[in-house]
Amino acid sequence: METKNKFIIHSQTLIIIMMVLSFFLIIQKISPMLYKTGLIILIVSAVSQMAFGNISPAARPGKAVKLIIMAYLIVGAVFGLGVVLAPFLVNIGR
């Protein structure tokens, strides 16, 4: 019998709410600062959704946290690799 981890379920709900909020902040035309905040929230919530979306609701909380940390580390490594390789690739194109 599988028990559902409420942490994962509530986190996914919160992430979806954050995404909707970020869309409203991005489409508003009142303040550029709200636009920038919306973009940051969207990026964080999209990466979080990738991490939480791949975790089974039946996963134990300890295992879930380890998987989330691993997902963030993978995204950080890919981003860091892109930052390091970008100048090299630009020089190859010249």
**Which residues does 20 contact at the CB level (< 8 Å), separation at least 6?**
none
pTM over 0.85: no
Q: Which residues contact 34 (CB under 8 A, 6 or more apart)?
A: 25, 28
Please, are residues 58 and 5 in contact by the beta-carbon 8 Å criterion? yes
- pLDDT in 10s for each residue of the chain, 94 residues: 455 677 788 888 999 999 999 999 999 999 999 999 999 999 999 988 888 888 877 778 788 888 888 888 998 999 999 999 999 989 888 8
Four-residue CA torsion sign, 34, 39, 44, 45: positive
**Quick one: pLDDT at residue 1?**
41
* Distance between start and end Cα atoms, the chain: 60
Contacts of 46 (CB under 8 A, 6+ apart): 19
- Quick one: pLDDT at residue 15? 92
Please tell me the predicted confidence (pLDDT) of residue 78.
93
The size of the chain, in residues, is 94
